[in-house]
Structure 1
Amino acid sequence: DWKPLTHHSEVPVRSSDDLRRRQAFYTSVDMAQIGKVLVSAGLFQGGFCNGANDPERTLALLVLTAIHDIMKVNSLLPVVTEESGPFEKHKVGEVIYNHDTALGYVLQWMPSVLPSYAGLPEAQRESVKFTQFDMEFNLGWLVQAEAPPGMLFNRFKQIIRQGKAKSSDVALYLVHWLTDLAGAEPYPQEGAEKFVLKFPPNLFVSFLSSFHCVTFLSTKTETEVMEDYLRWRWAMAEPPLGTMPQGEGAIAAMRLVVMAQGHSHKVLNAFRSLPDSERKVLSEELTRTARRGQRFELGADLDA
């Protein structure tokens, strides 16, 4: 019986804590945000609720889901050939042990060995191939504002500059991250328990919201993308934080608020009560972009 389970279902018997967490997720997470991510990735056209599903794009995501971990089987790992030449820091004759890079190599140089991938339309093959580049991207660093934009997005932006991705491809990469994590504990009738039971709802919402910002990497600088995210987090904070800060210490305050995870006013008061010299050091450090020539619009006029 594959009918969806509800709180009225006789089995399985759920604990009160389980039911509480499920209800909290249901009431806290705006499903329209999930829909927005799917639309951005090209999976729906004309909107999530009323739009039409794009079968080719959906097939590309399903193919990616099916093949993305196959290179965790060591016997399948490819060896870089003379025909391809060096690939992603790997020399000719070397085995590619990173499973994402290994799959990227196969998609680039041996696509016919994966018929499901080879049978996709060319545009969808390129999108799937993009997801296997080594982005050096840690989404958690963005969600928690733990790193400067240069460290977060440098490699990601390089690949986009090379003409290897559109904004919808970036969104597909993020949707794949979402579905991969959701399916890490595969109990379809139970729902995406990884998110529902093991992620705080506000953290899950932060992940979703960061997706929208990241898709603009194709048209904005690394620093602009991060500043957009920080502005959004400040504006959406509960309880409200008041007017958006500007000038020296602004970006530091905004990053600290994101890191505080719900203790915003306490961390802001602590930051503002620091001795001037210590606050200045922290402000300068957290305002650096790690990208020469880029500056935060709201921050002090600092070099990268």
Structure 2
Amino acid sequence: MSKSEQTVLNSESKIATSESAHEISKDGAFVRQKNRFTTPFGDGENELPVEANRYRLLWAGICPWAHRQIIALNLLGLTDVISIGEANPVRTEKGWEFSLDEGGVDPVLGIRYLPEIYEKTDPEYDGRATVPTVVDVKAGKVVNNDYFKLTNYWETAWKPFHKKGAPDLYPVELRDEIDKLNDIIFHEVNNGVYKAGFAQSQEAYEKAYDTLFARLDDLEERLSKQRYLFGDKITDSDIRLYVTLARFDIAYYLVFRVNRNRIIDFPNLWAYARDLYQTPGFGNTTNFDAIKRGYNLGNHAENPYQILPKGPDVSIWNTPHDREKFIK
């Protein structure tokens, strides 16, 4: 990530921060590291078996990549078959820490810091230990940290365990379109804010900034005509866009210097974001305090005195949104 980050190394671990993982290009642009554990879930050869109570999903309330897994699990009713462990939103020099749990260790895995389970899985791995992380509890090893595809696995491979009446977040007839939009949202919005925030040159920052707001303008127009990104039903794409919108005004606007507009300045995007927030699975898994603490007190911001911003007022997320007008 930024130059101010220190290499996450101790005498027992080689897990690194983004700087030592080479996430800054020669021209000062942020280039996110690739995921290391990408074996898909399924019933095919060399795939992860879909089995209730075998896996534990590790996440942190600050992280948008992890948050979208939690939203999907809640919408689909998978929290009864996949256990969840939550790390402190303020990442330490030794990595994500399970200090929210009694005794300061994950109660299932017995680890204090996330890099511990990565090193146990692959002692040669020298990238960052990231959330979300899926651990095979039987083996005690990381099996997947592919945040980009994980929600699709919950939506498809895990369908036998979906609750009755669960939404079809990844309908077959829309998958090609969803995949295309998800790719755009990732590069220009989800990761776009990070490209601006972690840029180490003016040129790289402005390029990311301009691309981000051009795409938000396009999405504002799209959502002026329909309730969700693909019409009248929530899809995987809505989950992916929501997690960035939820963090925008409270963190990205100032910390990442993406300050052309706040989300509340976009009439349609703001109403759409509130609509999702007020939908079970979204707002009840959104921890604004964790988001604020993670971005302002962690290594994302230059905040030597560790001052936590008092605002903004998050009660406005519960105000009427009028998106029902699109229901036919």
**Under a length normalisation based on structure 1, what TM-score does the superposition of the two structures give?**
0.28
Could you say which structure has the larger radius of gyration?
1
More helix by share: 1
More strand by share: 2
